[in-house]
Amino acid sequence: MEEEEPRSIMDLPAIREFDAFPKTLPNYKQRSSRGGVLTVFVACLILVLIWHELKEYLFGEPKYSFLVDPSIAHSLGINIDLTVAMPCHYLSVDIKDAVGDRMYMNQEFKKEGTHFDIGDAKRIDHNNSTSELSATQILHASKKGQTFGKTRPLVPDGPACRIYGNTQVKKVTGNLHITTLGHGYLSWEHTDHKRMPKPNKLIWLS
């Protein structure tokens, strides 16, 4: 004697025909070009919002804030590495701050003879207001340049001078001066104007 298999509730005709999300019948729909344009507009708006949220999630959004430095330290460390198209003998380095103090940095910063080569350096134009970098662009650029560049060759009494080093300065506004002998400061030697350097190459400043 064969046993009847139990019937599932899903096999009932009423359950099969049941629609939990009833649709509007085509007889009650009216298609128009305005509705199509609105649909396309809403779809584009949704895509833009999705892209904006996805971009913010992947790349982040910088938030800027300004505050007074709470540290008690009175000094600030600076690092510099640049090449001047002039022999080291004619160059003098000093710092003058807003307080009026002047520090001669010929001992703090090292000067070495080398060759001057522009290489992949780019011109810095302070009058070009369109060349602005955001914090995000700077961070991405720093990730690409993690390898160290080649050290400039040491050439005793070379035609150019590499000035590099670090020192401590006051936390006030100041200027770093690289001048030639006899120009701006008292010196027994005067540098000819024809020897004045025109191009300079800044490697590092922080």
Instruction: Please report, rounded to a whole number, the percentage of residues in the chain having pLDDT higher than 70.
Output: 60
Residues 192 and 91 in one domain: yes
Classify residue 141: in a domain, yes or no. no
Q: With 90 as the cut, is the pLDDT of residue 44 above it?
A: yes
Q: With 70 as the cut, is the pLDDT of residue 93 above it?
A: yes
Q: Work out the average pLDDT over 74-82.
A: 81
Residues 166 and 191 in one domain: yes
What tokens appear for 161 in the block? Answer: 């001078």
**Could you give the C-alpha distances from 32 to 27, 39, 192, in angstroms and in order?**
14, 11, 84
What tokens appear for 20 in the block? Answer: 């939990």
Give tens-digit pLDDT for 163-192: 888 888 888 788 887 877 766 665 566 666
Residues 20 and 89 in one domain: no
Q: With 60 as the cut, is the pLDDT of residue 123 above it?
A: no
The number of distinct structural domains making up the chain is 2
What tokens appear for 196 in the block? Answer: 């004045």
The C-alpha atoms of residue 110 and residue 163 are separated, in whole angstroms, by 6
Classify residue 66: in a domain, yes or no. no
Residues 55 and 79 in one domain: no
Its pTM stands at: 0.50
Give the model's pLDDT for residue 18: 72
Residues 54 and 80 in one domain: no
What tokens appear for 23 in the block? Answer: 């649709």
Q: Range of 171's domain?
A: 75-123+151-205
Backbone φ/ψ region at 136: left (φ over 0), alpha (ψ -120 to 50), beta? alpha
Q: Work out the average pLDDT over 3-29.
A: 68
Instruction: Please report, rounded to a whole number, the percentage of residues in the chain having pLDDT higher than 90.
Output: 6
The C-alpha atoms of residue 119 and residue 85 are separated, in whole angstroms, by 13
Q: Work out the average pLDDT over 30-46.
A: 87
What tokens appear for 111 in the block? Answer: 């000067």
Residue 79, beta-bridge partner list: 166
What tokens appear for 18 in the block? Answer: 């049941």
Q: With 50 as the cut, is the pLDDT of residue 80 above it?
A: yes
- Residue scoring higher pLDDT (121 or 64): 64
pLDDT band at 143 (very low <50, low <70, confident <90, very high): low
Q: With 60 as the cut, is the pLDDT of residue 102 above it?
A: yes
